[in-house]
Amino acid sequence: MPTRQPVSFGTGEPWNAGLWVVVPAFNEASVIGDVVRSVRDRCPNVVVVDDGSDDTTEAEALAAGAAVVRHVINLGQGAALQTGIEYALRRGAACIATFDADGQHHADDLVRMVAALRSQDVDVVLGSRFLGRSENMPPGRRLMLHAAVVLTRLTAGVKLTDAHNGLRVMTAATARRLRIVQDQMAHASELVSQIGRLGLRVAEVPVTVSYTRYSIHKGQRLTNSVRILTDLVVGWLLR
Amino acid sequence: MIIQFFLTGLLLGVALLVAAQNATPRLMRAGILAVLAAGAFFVWAPETTNAIAHVLGVGRGADLILYLWVVITLALMLLLYLKLTRMARRITQLTRAIALMQASAPDADR
């Protein structure tokens, strides 16, 4: 059992000082409470962006102690992330993490990612399941993610091992410069290409991604990648 | 003969609608009206499409019209899709503004 004591990095303040964790959620009532509680064990500032859920996601998140921002209609994960990031900035966040609502991520990984952000002097830290571990990843999912890595390396010119991990930590200054306009799932590629364009300093930290039947069901299917590519082309045309 | 009057009437109706669109840029309106006028001309002088088609290396005038129709339709679909995406982005901004406005004020929650 990992320690619940705040870890300090020698600066005198707790490791999570000024950290806000953004959790985009759409119809995640059955898991969101546990996810929020697990994150709040490490960091008190959690904002759940309820992306127009029609279940009790909002109530569960509030009961677990998160701040909740609610989209009145469903927009997509990219839009929810941007809303959550803007909320965190308004609350005076010094650094901002993004964290999936489906229970795939582990709050302990946040500690090491924030440590990397502070110690390696980078703008953004991305979690990598391929440097770290993934539990019960379906082979199709693995293939799709590897294809995405190759694609982002070619289009964004950023060398990553895992381009589509929902676990990220960035400084507030970085969060202000990034702007997600891809409302749906193309936001992950969009973020990487913005990182490339802005010349941001990136570090990857190994993290564990646990696949459950629930998270696989909620996750991306191969057919969605066609949609993502279309969105990226349209986004490029509108730029 | 009947079809020619029918098509001309239809084109005229569309032309009136387009002319009344004050929101559309004047140049765009003029362009659309020119295309409609060309259409009316070809309705009454269909052989000319054959001549143009031959110059371009297409067998028949009707085929040329079909090809142009397909290209124009696809271009219009793309423009419409871009317009829809732009509109979706504005809805996103609106939804986000409402969400942030309704969020519990700093220091007031918890």
Domain for residue A176, yes or no? yes
Chain A CB within 8 Å of residue B95 CB: yes
- Cβ <8 Å between A72 and B86: no
Structural domain for B85, as ranges: 60-102
- Give the residue from B16, B43, B46 showing the smallest Cα distance to B32: B16
Domain for residue B4, yes or no? yes
Chain B CB within 8 Å of residue A154 CB: no
Positive or negative, the Cα torsion across B44, B47, B48, B49? positive
Chain B CB within 8 Å of residue A226 CB: no
Amino acid letter for position B73: T
Domain for residue B75, yes or no? yes
Taking only the tens of pLDDT, chain A with its 239 residues reads 444 444 455 567 888 899 999 999 999 999 999 999 999 999 999 999 999 999 999 999 999 999 999 999 999 999 999 999 999 999 999 999 999 999 999 999 999 999 999 999 899 999 999 898 888 888 888 888 888 888 888 888 888 898 789 999 999 999 999 999 999 888 988 999 999 999 999 999 999 998 888 888 777 766 777 888 888 888 888 87
Domain for residue A12, yes or no? no
- Give the residue from A210, A192, A38 showing the smallest Cα distance to A126: A192
Domain for residue B79, yes or no? yes
| Number of domains present in the structure of chain A | 1
Chain B CB within 8 Å of residue A49 CB: yes
Chain A CB within 8 Å of residue B83 CB: no
CATH of the domain at A159: 3.90.550.10
Query: A38: how many CB neighbours lie within 10 A of its CB?
Result: 17
Long-range contacts of B40-49 (CB under 8 A, 24+ apart): B40/B7, B40/B8, B40/B11, B40/B12, B43/B4, B43/B7, B43/B8, B43/B11, B44/B4, B44/B8
Q: What is the ipTM of this complex?
A: 0.86
Residues on chain B touching A73 (C-beta within 8 angstroms)? 91, 95
pTM value is: 0.83
Structural domain for A54, as ranges: 19-238
Nearest-neighbour CA in chain B from A24: distance (Å):
13
